[in-house]
Structure formats: structure tokens, C-alpha cells
């Protein structure tokens, strides 16, 4: 630590720098900073002994080239934090978009179930046309076992039900692609469509093919 004495007319940034250089016996360029590493600039607020003689104030003299390097690394850290924040925000946006797309696909499934429910409410049993049957098969048949889907798994990549949970788990043991659209990293695009299993079982009891 260096203690310097100065007169009122020397109580400026440039005056204090000169005093510090005299005390150190070195006239290499230095920068004065506060305890947080912020450069102290010559201004009306830093002129006068009142500013420099405050007991709580610590002033640091840093070699100019060291200060420049410090500021550069500080900006890099700040930029890195902004990049990380931007990346995190982008991840959130991607997840939101994925949920929106998934909801659009689920709407098709829900619409089909609603249509079947309306048919079933008309009579205890309802005979379906071939077109209706194919529509149901396309929506609720497991791609792997070709049977009615048990514990339906929904894929956001192709926005549809793709199969039974057990069948999908077995598929992913040997492949990372979606069963239907061949999108990579299937595990990142699927979730269990909770609540549909009971609905599918109920529909199975009332559906007959014409």
C-alpha cells in the first residue's frame, strides 16, 4: 500500500497519478480504479480533497496494460454470460414451440375421440363406415405391434401417436429415430399421453367394423 500526500490543487486524477508514480519511482502509465475495478475518471466529482480523503474509499493504481487486459477479460465474461442467457432463452423458445406443435397434433387425436364419443352416445353400439374405421386405425394403431395402442406415446416431431409405451421403449433400445417420420433423437420428442389409455379401451368396447 502506498500513502501519498497532496495539496488541494493536486487533488485530481492526474495529480494523484503523478503522486503515485513519484512514490513508486516509476513513470509507467497507470490507471486509478475503485475497489470494483472501475476506472476513476477526471471530472468535477473527483476534483478536490473531499473525494480523495474519504476513509471508506480505496483507490488502486493499476498498470495501464494490465488494466486493458482486465477490461478485455471482463467484456468477454460479460459477452459469454449474454451468450449463455441468449442460448437459454432460445432453449425456452424451442420448448414452447415444441409444446405448441404437440398441442396441434393432440387436437387431431382429441377431435377423433370426440367424434367417436358422439357416435357412441347416440346408440349403445355404432357401426362405422370403412372410411371411419381407417381413420381410427390410422390414429390409434401401434406402428410396431399393429394392435390397439396401450399406454399411448405421442411424438412431437410428427405430431401424432406412434405406439404403445412398451413397443416404443423396445424400439428405442436399437434405434434413435422416430418410428414414423425418422426424426433423430426420438427420446427428446416423445411423452406419454396420460389418460388416453382408458379412453381407447372404452372406445374398443363400442366399436364394430361394418
- Tens-digit pLDDT string for the chain (210 aa): 667 677 888 888 888 888 888 888 888 888 888 877 788 888 887 888 787 777 656 788 888 888 787 777 666 665 556 555 555 555 555 554 554 455 555 555 556 556 655 655 555 555 566 776 677 677 778 888 887 778 888 888 877 888 888 999 999 999 888 888 888 888 888 888 766 666 666 555 444 444
Helix extents (H) in 123-164: 130-140
Cell digits for 177? 429415430
Q: Is residue 146 part of a domain?
A: yes
Domain count, the chain: 1
CATH label of the domain that carries residue 187: 3.30.40.10
**Distance (Å, whole) CA 178 – CA 166:** 15
Instruction: State how far the Cα of 157 lies from the Cα of 70, in Å rounded to an integer.
Output: 46
Whether residue 150 lies inside any domain: the answer is yes
83, part of any domain: no
d(CA 49, CA 200): 84
Q: Which three cell numbers stand for residue 23?
A: 512514490
Question: Quick one: which of 146, 150, 140, 148 has its CA closest to 192?
Answer: 150
40 occurs within a structural domain: no
Contact 163, 153 (CB under 8 A): yes
Q: State how far Cα 116 lies from the chain centre.
A: 39
Cell of 81: 454470460
End-to-end Cα separation, the chain, in angstroms: 96
- Let me know if residue 179 belongs to a domain: yes
d(CA 92, CA 194): 23
Quote the domain boundaries for residue 189: 106-209
In a domain, 158, yes or no: yes
φ, ψ of residue 77 in degrees (nearest 5): -65, -40
Structural domain includes residue 87: no
Residue 19 counted as domain residue: no
Amino acid at each position: 500500500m502506498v500513502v501519498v500526500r497532496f495539496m488541494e490543487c493536486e487533488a485530481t486524477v492526474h495529480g494523484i497519478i503523478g503522486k503515485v508514480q513519484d512514490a513508486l519511482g516509476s513513470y509507467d502509465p497507470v490507471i486509478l480504479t475503485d475497489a470494483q475495478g472501475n476506472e476513476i475518471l477526471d471530472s468535477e466529482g473527483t476534483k478536490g480533497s473531499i473525494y480523495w480523503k474519504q476513509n471508506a474509499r480505496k483507490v488502486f493504481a493499476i498498470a495501464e496494460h494490465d488494466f486493458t487486459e482486465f477490461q478485455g477479460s471482463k467484456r468477454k465474461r460479460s459477452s459469454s454470460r449474454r451468450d449463455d442467457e441468449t442460448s437459454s432463452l432460445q432453449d425456452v423458445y424451442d420448448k414452447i414451440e415444441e409444446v405448441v406443435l404437440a398441442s396441434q397434433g393432440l387436437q387431431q387425436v382429441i377431435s377423433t375421440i370426440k367424434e367417436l364419443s358422439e357416435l357412441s352416445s347416440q346408440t349403445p353400439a355404432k357401426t362405422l363406415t370403412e372410411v371411419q374405421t381407417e381413420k381410427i386405425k390410422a390414429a390409434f394403431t401401434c406402428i410396431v405391434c399393429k394392435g390397439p395402442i396401450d399406454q399411448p406415446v405421442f411424438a412431437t416431431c410428427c405430431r401424432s401417436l406412434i405406439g404403445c409405451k412398451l413397443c416404443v421403449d423396445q424400439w428405442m433400445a436399437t434405434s434413435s429415430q422416430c418410428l414414423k417420420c425418422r426424426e433423430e433423437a426420438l427420446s427428446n420428442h416423445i411423452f406419454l399421453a396420460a389418460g388416453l389409455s382408458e379412453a381407447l379401451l372404452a372406445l374398443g368396447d363400442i366399436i364394430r367394423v361394418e
